[in-house]
Structure 1
């Protein structure tokens, strides 16, 4: 499981990295991070002045004390992303968040509405850490492909059969 800070190293070469379920990756202005989410949440923290950021692919709202995969749970992913970026010189006060996902993938009412729980948990933990949410595309019944470009701050949301949106 990749949880270390990953940054592009070759000047002038852009890298696109996929963030899998439970993973957390960071990047610089030469990096784009992408994830495919349904009920999961792509949580992105971005420092616009430094063009540095990180993304976690949050699967569940609460770790219940498990710490081996911090990107997997909202309560551990948000502080983990902050630590990753602070280790590269980002000041928490300069960070903003972008969120996507949290779809209701199992249509109907019932106990499997994890998307709503993930949305609430991510918002709560960002608020507790004092990080404002700059953009979000949450809920609904469709999965999304999300791409964050740390050079421009463009957060692109793609849903099958719809026009891509940039937040």
Structure 2
């Protein structure tokens, strides 16, 4: 069986689809959100760097969590997929910059809060969580079967 090919997502990117490849994202304070529909065998991942686009303008870069997660909703709606049936994972949100400052200044934690708000809005509880701490993570979503693997900077791994 051939090895699956991987598509690496950079900050602001999103990918939606199925097939024999995997989606990967290296995150620190950024957040990667995975979404998998087991019945349709379709998944998605997005990666964002900042929580919200608050200046009132139209942002289309995907760097902001609110706009990138909205893109996921649009992708699934195009195929008439019920968002409440998704298996969602939230990864990243490390505290790499705040040095003990209040949460207001912790970009990683604010990124995670946006992902949790997204889950509440679509009516799901995150099935996979690997958030916080002071580490980087490599997140992989296998689009063949929806499995998620996380490899921490310190070598620890987790599979779901």
TM (normalized to structure 1)?
0.84
Question: What is the rounded CA distance, in whole Å, between the counterparts of 2:91 and 2:154 in structure 1?
Answer: 17
Q: Secondary structure at the match of 1:72?
A: coil
Which residue in 2 is equivalent to 1:75?
Answer: 66
- Give the alignment partner of residue 31 of structure 1, picking from 21, 29, 47: 21
- Closer, same or farther: CA 121–52 of 1 in aligned 2, 3 Å: same
Q: Distance in 2 between matches of 1:166 and 1:13?
A: 18
Structure 1 residue 13, shift from structure 2 partner: 8.6
Name stretches of at least 5 consecutive residues in structure 1 with no aligned partner.
1-11
Q: Number of aligned pairs?
A: 155
Report the Cα offset of residue 161 of structure 1: 2.8
Is 50-59 or 91-100 further displaced after alignment? 91-100
2:108 maps to 115
The residue that corresponds to 1:106 in the other structure is: 97
Counterpart secondary structure, 2:75: helix
Tell me the secondary structure at the aligned position of residue 135 of structure 2: coil
Structure 2 unaligned residues grouped into runs of 5+: none
Give the match for residue 63 of structure 1. Answer: 53
Q: 10, 14, 31: which one pairs with 1:41?
A: 31
After TM superposition, what 4+ stretches of structure 1 lie above 4 angstroms from structure 2? Answer: none
Deviations, residues 49-80 of structure 1 (Å, cap 9, x unaligned): 111111110111101243312x3222122221
Name the residue aligned to 2:135.
142
Is the CA contact (8 Å cut-off) linking 2:43 and 2:146 kept in structure 1?
Answer: no
1:94 paired residue number: 85
In structure 2, the partner of 1:131 is: 124
The alignment's TM-score, normalised by the length of structure 2, stands at 0.87
